[in-house]
Structure 1
Amino acid sequence: MDSTILTEIWRRASACCGDEFVHVLNGLLDEYERKPGKDEPVRVTAEWVGQDGYSSLVIALNEKSRRNVRYFDHGWHIELRSRLWAHICRGIQHRLVLSGFAPEAITEDLLAFEIGV
C-alpha cells in the first residue's frame, strides 16, 4: 500500500469516525488472527497516521490484552508486526469504502488489492 494512500486512509477514518474510531480499531484488533511465521516490524508515528489516528490506536492497543496482538510503545512511535498493521489498515480502508467516505484513489487501491494486482 502506498504511504500517501495509507496516510489519507487514517486521516479520513479518524475524521469521519471521530470518537468511534477507537471502537473501530478495537474491533479490528479483536478479530485479528496471527498466522505462524515471522513478519517484519513496522514503526507507526503520529506524523504518518495523524495525531488523532495515532492517539486512537494507542488507546485501542492499551484497552485490553489480546492473544494475537503484540506491540511495543516506544513513546514517539508504536512498533507492530507488518501483518497486524496490514490487517488494521485494510480493515479501515474497507470500512471507508463501504460507508462511501473513500475517494476514488482509496477505492481503486482496495479493488487492486482484492483482485491481486
Structure 2
Amino acid sequence: MTNLTHAHCEACNADAAKVSDDELADLLTQIPDWHIEVRNGVQQLERIFPFKNFQLALAFTNAVGGLAEAEGHHPALLTEWGKVTVTWWSHKLQGLHRNDCIMAACTDDLAKTAGDCT
C-alpha cells in the first residue's frame, strides 16, 4: 500500500467510486487517530486536534486551509479555543474517497509540525 502522506489527490467527479469497506479498513491503519462519523447517511473522517490556546488553533486551521487549497479538496473546519475539529469527505460522492484519507494523513503531518499541539 502506498504511504498516504506521499500521495496527492486525484480529480474525482460525482461518478467516481467511493472507497470499499475493505479498502477503508486498510487505509484507516495509516490514519489511526481518525474516526468515521456518519451524518445524514454520509461517511466522513473526523479528528479533533488539541492546542494550548486559540492562536495556535487558528494557525493550524489556516495551515489546513492552505493544504486544502493546494490540493483542491476542502474539509469542514471548526476552530475553538484549544482545539480544531477537521472533517474530510468527498462532497460530490456523498461519502469517502481515497482522497479523504490522503488529506487526513497530510493533516496529521501538519499537526506534527504545528508546535504546541498537545
Answer 1 or 2: which has greater helix percent. Answer: 1
Q: TM-score, normalised by structure 1?
A: 0.33
The structure carrying a bigger strand percent of its residues is: 2
What TM-score does the superposition give when structure 2 sets the normalisation length?
0.33
